[in-house]
Structure formats: structure tokens, C-alpha cells
């Protein structure tokens, strides 16, 4: 288990994925692009791609979960502010 890989991806998601994140070319292509961007950032930070993929073999799905979770949180926030 690569705690460094998990920490990197979770931090990258927190810094780069929000309800404002736009995905182009369809949802799956957008999730795949987010995954590629995260892997590129990991490599440039010295975290090997294998450490990431060991923990997240389907990284695009993790990106989809993050984006959908962010959108859900934003919707809840807006609904709470209406009260």
C-alpha cells in the first residue's frame, strides 16, 4: 500500500477538482483527462505512477467520484443557504 500515492491523489483532488471543474468531450473523456493530469503532476512531484495506480487501478472512476461528490456538496450548500 502506498500511503504517499493515496495522499498525493487526495490532495490533488482537493486542489484541482470542484463543482466548478468543467469536463470537455464527454464525461468519460473528462474523467480520463483529470486522471492523466493527476498522474502528470505526481510524476513531476516525484511520486511514481505505479504508486498511484496500485491504490487507484481505475483512476478515472476516482475522479468521477470526486467530481460528483463535489457537485453534491455544492448543491447541499446552496440548499442550506436558501433556508
Average pLDDT of the segment spanning 1-16: 91
- The pLDDT value recorded for residue 28 is 84
Q: Where are the domains of the chain?
A: 3-82
In 3-state terms, what secondary structure has residue 9? helix
What's the pLDDT at 33? 94
Distance separating alpha carbons of residues 79 and 46, to the nearest angstrom = 41
Q: Residue 26 gets which letter from DSSP?
A: S
pLDDT surpasses 90 at 21: no
Q: What are phi and psi of 66, to 5 degrees?
A: -65, -45
Instruction: Determine the pLDDT at residue 47.
Output: 96
- Separation CA 76–CA 40 (nearest Å): 32
d(C-alpha 11, C-alpha 5), whole Å: 10
Tell me the pLDDT tens digit for each residue of 37-81.
Answer: 999 999 999 999 999 999 999 999 999 999 887 655 555 566 678
Amino acid at each position: 500500500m502506498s500511503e504517499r500515492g493515496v495522499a498525493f491523489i487526495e490532495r490533488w483532488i482537493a486542489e484541482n477538482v470542484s463543482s466548478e471543474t468543467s469536463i470537455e468531450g464527454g464525461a468519460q473523456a473528462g474523467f480520463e483527462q483529470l486522471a492523466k493530469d493527476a498522474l502528470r503532476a505526481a510524476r513531476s512531484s516525484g511520486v511514481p505512477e505505479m504508486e498511484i495506480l496500485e491504490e487507484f487501478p481505475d483512476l478515472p472512476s476516482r475522479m468521477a467520484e470526486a467530481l460528483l461528490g463535489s457537485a453534491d456538496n455544492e448543491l447541499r450548500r446552496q440548499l442550506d443557504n436558501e433556508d
